[in-house]
């Protein structure tokens, strides 16, 4: 990896972590530069659109990490219920390892972004992608398309409650709810 690419990826990784912990509004550029060790000029060199462009890159990076967990769960799990249960356990493990300082890498920005803004559009695109991935997994077993949105909503809500309550219990409850939902559909 080139030095410039390495600097860019460090900045994206730091921003992704910080946004997940405290949102885009709560994350300053100076903090990202300090934590990444990048020189000030690197921001506009790598992200001419400024902070919003860096946040977008961080969202896509964070979404990719979640997609990797989804792929892992799908390859290791048996059916859809087992794969989604494993995904939820992996998310709970990730959250617990971070001391419940992290949640969903997209949720913080989705709540902050003004409706119709570019960042709100990026969040919607990521959520649509996740829902489509779940729909494909579920369709293979004959579940209705709307079930994917229900599963995503259960997971997102459980991530938020787990973070706020500093407990993996909401995620464990969501896993049981997903299992029951899939038995009914």
pLDDT tens-place string over residues 79-129: 899 999 999 999 999 999 999 998 888 998 999 999 999 999 999 999 999
Instruction: Name, in order, each residue with C-beta under 8 angstroms of 87's C-beta and a sequence gap of 6 or more.
Output: 69, 70, 73, 77, 155
pLDDT band at 4 (very low <50, low <70, confident <90, very high): confident
Secondary structure letter of residue 49 according to DSSP: T
The reported pLDDT for the residue numbered 71 is 82
Which residue's entry shows tokens 């997209």?
106
Q: Is the pLDDT score of 64 beyond 80?
A: yes
The reported pLDDT for the residue numbered 159 is 96
The reported pLDDT for the residue numbered 179 is 94
The reported pLDDT for the residue numbered 115 is 94
Half-sphere exposure of 53 (CA within 13 A, CB side): 9
CA distances (Å), origin 182, targets 28, 157, 167 = 42, 18, 25
The reported pLDDT for the residue numbered 66 is 85
The reported pLDDT for the residue numbered 67 is 85
DSSP calls for 10-21: HHHHHHHHHHHH
Q: Is the pLDDT score of 151 beyond 90?
A: yes
Domains observed in the chain: 3-184 (1.10.357.10)
The reported pLDDT for the residue numbered 178 is 96
CA distances (Å), origin 132, targets 42, 125, 142 = 35, 10, 15
pLDDT band at 65 (very low <50, low <70, confident <90, very high): confident
């Amino acid at each position: 990896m080139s030095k410039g690419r390495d600097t860019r990826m460090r900045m994206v990784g730091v921003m992704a972590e910080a946004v997940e912990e405290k949102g885009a509004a709560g994350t300053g550029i100076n903090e990202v530069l300090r934590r990444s060790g990048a020189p000030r000029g690197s921001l506009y060199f790598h992200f001419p659109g400024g902070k919003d462009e860096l946040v977008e890159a961080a969202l896509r990076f964070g979404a990719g990490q979640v997609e990797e967990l989804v792929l892992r769960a799908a390859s290791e799990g048996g059916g859809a219920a087992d794969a989604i249960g494993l995904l939820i356990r992996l998310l709970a493990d990730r959250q617990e390892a971070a001391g419940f300082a992290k949640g969903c890498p997209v949720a913080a920005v989705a709540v902050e972004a003004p409706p119709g803004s570019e960042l709100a559009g990026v969040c919607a695109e990521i959520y649509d992608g996740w829902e489509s991935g779940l729909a494909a997994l579920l369709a293979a077993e004959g579940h209705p398309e709307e079930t994917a949105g229900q599963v995503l909503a259960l997971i997102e809500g459980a991530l938020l409650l787990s973070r706020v309550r500093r407990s993996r219990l909401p995620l464990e409850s969501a896993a049981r709810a997903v299992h029951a939902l899939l038995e009914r559909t």
